[in-house]
Amino acid sequence: MFRMKFFAFIITAVLLSASAFAGSVPTFTTIDNFADPTFNQLLGINNAGVISGYYGSGAQGHPNQGYTIAPPYTTFVPENLPGSVQTQATGIAGNAVTVGFWSPTNTGTDSNFGFVRLANAFTYVSVNNTLVASNPEVNQLLGVNGGEIAVGFYHDASNAPQGYAYAVKTGTITPVTVSGATSSAATGINNKNLICGFFTNGSGLTQGFVQPLAGGSLITLLIPGSTTTQLLGINDFGIAVGFYVGSDGFTHGIRYNIATGKVTFLDDPQGVMGTVLNGINDKGEIVGFYTDAADNTHGVLVTGAE
- CATH code of the domain containing 19: 2.120.10.30
The Cα–Cα gap between 87 and 182 comes to 28
pLDDT at 6: 32
Number of H helices, E strands in the chain: 0, 26
The Cα–Cα gap between 101 and 166 comes to 13
Residue 190 resides in a domain: yes
Cα-based distances in Å from 139 to 4, 102, 175, 193, 207: 10, 9, 13, 21, 21
Instruction: Give this prediction's pTM.
Output: 0.93
Residue 4 resides in a domain: no
Q: Report residue 67's pLDDT band, with 50, 70 and 90 as the boundaries.
A: very high
pLDDT in tens, 35-54: 999 999 999 999 999 999 99
Residue 3 resides in a domain: no
DSSP single-letter state for residue 135: S
Range of the domain at 294: 9-303
Residue 255 resides in a domain: yes
The Cα–Cα gap between 45 and 68 comes to 9
Residue 2 resides in a domain: no
The Cα–Cα gap between 265 and 141 comes to 26
Residue 297 resides in a domain: yes
pLDDT in tens, 288-300: 999 999 999 999 9
The Cα–Cα gap between 26 and 204 comes to 34
Residue 1 resides in a domain: no
Residue 110 resides in a domain: yes
The Cα–Cα gap between 178 and 200 comes to 9
Question: Based on the structure, what is the number of domains in the chain?
Answer: 1
